[in-house]
Amino acid sequence: MSPDYPREACGIVGVFGIPDAALLIHAGLFALQHRGQEGAGIVTSDGNQVKSTKGLGLVNDVFSMKTLRGMKGHLGIGHVRYSTTGSSRLQNVQPLVVECSDGIWAIAHNGNLINAGALRLMYQEAGAIFQTSTDSEVLIHLLADPMYRNRPRRVARALAELKGAFAFVLMTKDCVMAARDALGFKPLSIGKLGDGYVFASETCALSQIGAEYLRDVEPGELVVVDSSGLHSSWFAEPPSTGLSHCVFEHVYFARPDSLLFGQSVHSVRMKLGMRLAQEHPVEADLVTAVPDSGNSAALGFSRQSGIPLDFGFMRNHYVGRTFIMPDADQRARSVDMKLAVVKEVVKGKRVVVVDDSIIRGTTARRRVSALREAGAREIHMRISCPPTMHPCFFGIDFATRAELIASNRSLDEIRVYTGADTLGYLSIDGLLSPFPKAPDYCTACFSGRYPLDISRMEGKGALETLTPLLNLQAKNH
Ligand code: SF4
């Protein structure tokens, strides 16, 4: 099996000390469905018996109420997976479950491990067999490694071997653990529900199941919950140079009703929209969002500029997933079906369209064309992040550098390509302006300044060696 290291932006949930944990995990995964639609899985334990269910598709496709009721237990973990067409197979759906000499372990991962290739090769050369093509599986091998097995802090030591971006939830038959990498790329929050604890990628999942948000798992922290309570320890020191929270989580990925890295996603996006209006003012009749991720920024743009906000696009929430469609034409038609222009709103108007990002440019072009067909007089595109010029190596599924329109075209060439009358991107300073400690954010896909040494990824010594691995289906916009 050739490893393809899918670049995922997944969602994870962990529950300890609450009856019918499977039902809660299911509700939490449902709230995190926007982070992954390819597959979902839940593993539970009643302290003795471990049960696992997983499958391809949406959370509600994978779990029936009968299945969930059959998964008895007061602890468990769950995962929703976003990946690519080539990696769309059941073995890759998490949580990964294995039986080690000391019993069953299950893990669920959000992020991307940049030394997974080197670790995998090392274990394969020593005779280990891998069951999946995910980077996450290397943690299983580290946990099972005899070198680590008898050490008291084996989980911490295994985590300390990993490089890259990760938020993990792990479980054995009688405890649940949660950990974040030392730079804090990926979000992971802790909540309290009754006498039990809940971990989730975003706080919207805690709200969904009625848990009270306590705090985030800190970068480099390992939190263990068992029958004796919650225990914290550190497997890595956060660097003195600052953290690297993924700023794109705030721009696009997370749900607006989540608190992320301590700040409201909605408020951050509003501020980005306000700053965008200051940086790229325009005379127009209305502001409209590209829903849903452009909504909060469009509201901010409207408030700052005084231009009224209206609904120029209407989203159809019942269109299937575009990424599994086999050809580009089908995907494009599906993208068109997802967003309809409200003609009566835009006809004869000068329209400001606020979107969160432009990746390849094809979707932006279709949006502009649809607005023109509906009779918009002028179209002014405003993007609430800087031009996306560099690939992400830390778990967000962008196109290759060649496919990123901003990496090989000037601003005006992008404007011409999309067909807009004007185009304005937020500056990097503007992007970081909502955050009290700007250096604590990764901006590598905009600036090219990677917080980790990616030139030695996979231990092969060259960024180019990863290019085929990155040539995966991008977010279609
Ligand atoms: S490169 Fe971009 S998408 Fe990737 S972690 Fe950094 S900010 Fe996030």
Nearest residue to 39 (alpha-carbon basis) of 20, 21, 63, 22: 63
223 and 317 part of one domain? no
- Whole-number Å distance, alpha carbon 231 to ligand 1 midpoint, is 30
Is the pLDDT confidence value at 5 over 60?
Answer: no
Q: Which domain holds residue 94?
A: 11-238
- Which atom of ligand 1 is nearest the CA belonging to 451? 6
- 28-37, 138-147, 315-324: which has the highest mean pLDDT? 28-37
Residues 105-129 have a mean pLDDT of 94
Is residue 284 one of the residues assigned to a domain?
Answer: yes
- CB 417 within 8 Å of CB 388: no
- Whole-number Å distance, alpha carbon 6 to ligand 1 midpoint, is 15
**From 112, 394, 432, 475, mutation site for ligand 1 pocket: most ligand atoms within 8 A of C-beta:** 394
- Tell me the C-alpha distance between 188 and 185, whole Å: 10
148 and 215 part of one domain? yes
Of the three residues 175, 209, 238, the one that is the final residue of a domain is: 238
Q: Which residues are registered as beta bridge partners of 339?
A: 315
Is the pLDDT confidence value at 6 over 60?
Answer: no
Residues 6+ apart with CB under 8 A from 71: 22, 42, 44, 51, 53
Is residue 2 one of the residues assigned to a domain?
Answer: no
Q: Is 441 in the pocket of ligand 1 (CB under 6 A)?
A: no
- Tell me the C-alpha distance between 309 and 46, whole Å: 51
Half-sphere exposure of 103 (CA within 13 A, CB side): 10
299 and 366 part of one domain? yes
- Whole-number Å distance, alpha carbon 255 to ligand 1 midpoint, is 17
For residue 148, what pLDDT is reported?
67
343 and 218 part of one domain? no
- Which atom of ligand 1 is nearest the CA belonging to 444? 1
Exposure b/e, 327-345, CB count within 10 A at least 16 = b: eeeebbebbbebbebeeeb
How many structural domains comprise the chain? 2
pLDDT in tens, 47-74: 999 999 999 999 999 999 999 999 999 9
Q: Is 247 in the pocket of ligand 1 (CB under 6 A)?
A: yes
Q: What's phi and psi for 316, nearest 5 deg?
A: -95, 115
Q: Is 10 a catalytic residue?
A: yes
Residue closest by Cα to atom 4 of ligand 1: 392
Per-residue confidence band for 321, with pLDDT thresholds at 50, 70 and 90: low
Residues 6+ apart with CB under 8 A from 260: 187, 202, 203, 249, 250, 254, 268
331 and 382 part of one domain? yes
Q: Is 452 in the pocket of ligand 1 (CB under 6 A)?
A: no
212 and 360 part of one domain? no
For residue 466, what pLDDT is reported?
35
State the distance between the two ends of the chain, measured CA to CA, in whole angstroms: 31
- Whole-number Å distance, alpha carbon 61 to ligand 1 midpoint, is 30
Residue pointed to by tokens 């560099």: 390
Is residue 4 one of the residues assigned to a domain?
Answer: no
56 and 179 part of one domain? yes
- Which atom of ligand 1 is nearest the CA belonging to 443? 7
- CB 469 within 8 Å of CB 391: no
Is the pLDDT confidence value at 237 over 60?
Answer: yes
Residues 329-352 have a mean pLDDT of 85
- Which atom of ligand 1 is nearest the CA belonging to 446? 2
Q: Is 106 in the pocket of ligand 1 (CB under 6 A)?
A: no
Six-digit token pair at 70? 């059959």
Is the pLDDT confidence value at 86 over 70?
Answer: no
Is the pLDDT confidence value at 138 over 80?
Answer: yes
90 and 218 part of one domain? yes
For residue 188, what pLDDT is reported?
98
Longest dimension (CA), the chain: 73
**From 392, 400, 440, mutation site for ligand 1 pocket: most ligand atoms within 8 A of C-beta:** 392
- Tell me the C-alpha distance between 452 and 114, whole Å: 9
- Tell me the C-alpha distance between 414 and 405, whole Å: 7
- CB 198 within 8 Å of CB 15: yes
The one catalytic residue among 10, 385, 392, 445:
10
255 and 231 part of one domain? no
Is residue 431 one of the residues assigned to a domain?
Answer: yes
256 and 210 part of one domain? no
Is residue 243 one of the residues assigned to a domain?
Answer: no
Is residue 454 one of the residues assigned to a domain?
Answer: no
Q: Is 442 in the pocket of ligand 1 (CB under 6 A)?
A: yes
Residue closest by Cα to atom 8 of ligand 1: 246
Is residue 385 one of the residues assigned to a domain?
Answer: yes
CATH code at 427? 3.40.50.2020
- Which atom of ligand 1 is nearest the CA belonging to 391? 1
**From 7, 443, 450, mutation site for ligand 1 pocket: most ligand atoms within 8 A of C-beta:** 443
- CB 355 within 8 Å of CB 383: yes
Q: Is 185 in the pocket of ligand 1 (CB under 6 A)?
A: yes
Q: Is 392 in the pocket of ligand 1 (CB under 6 A)?
A: yes
310 and 397 part of one domain? yes
- Whole-number Å distance, alpha carbon 44 to ligand 1 midpoint, is 32
CATH code at 116? 3.60.20.10
For residue 85, what pLDDT is reported?
39
Lowest mean pLDDT among 258-272, 277-291, 430-444: 430-444
Q: Is 261 in the pocket of ligand 1 (CB under 6 A)?
A: no
Q: Is 298 in the pocket of ligand 1 (CB under 6 A)?
A: no
Q: What is the 3-state secondary structure (H, E, C) of the chain?
A: CCCCCCCCCCEEEEEECCCCHHHHHHHHHHHCHHHCCCEEEEEEECCCCEEEEEEECCHHHHCCHHHHHHCCCCEEEEEEECCCHHHCCHHHCCCEEEEECCEEEEEEEEEEECCHHHHHHHHHHCCCCCCCCCCCHHHHHHHHCHHHHCCCCHHHHHHHCCCEEEEEEEECCCCEEEEECCCCCCCCEEEEECCEEEEECCHHHHHHCCCEEEEECCCCEEEEEECCEEEEEECCCCCCCCCCEEHHHHHHHCCCCCEECCEEHHHHHHHHHHHHHHHCCCCCCEEEECCCCCHHHHHHHHHHHCCCECCCEEECCCCCCHHHCCCHHHHHHHHHHHEEECHHHHCCCEEEEEECCCCCCHHHHHHHHHHHHCCCCEEEEEECCCCCCCCCCCCCCCCCHHHCHHHHCCHHHHHHHHCCCEEEECCHHHHHCCCCCHHHEECHHHHCCCCCCHHHHHHCCCHHHHHHHHCCCCCCC
Q: Is 457 in the pocket of ligand 1 (CB under 6 A)?
A: no
Is residue 64 one of the residues assigned to a domain?
Answer: yes
Q: Is 470 in the pocket of ligand 1 (CB under 6 A)?
A: no
Is the pLDDT confidence value at 324 over 70?
Answer: no
- Tell me the C-alpha distance between 15 and 151, whole Å: 26
**From 166, 384, 442, mutation site for ligand 1 pocket: most ligand atoms within 8 A of C-beta:** 442
173 and 266 part of one domain? no
Residues 6+ apart with CB under 8 A from 127: none
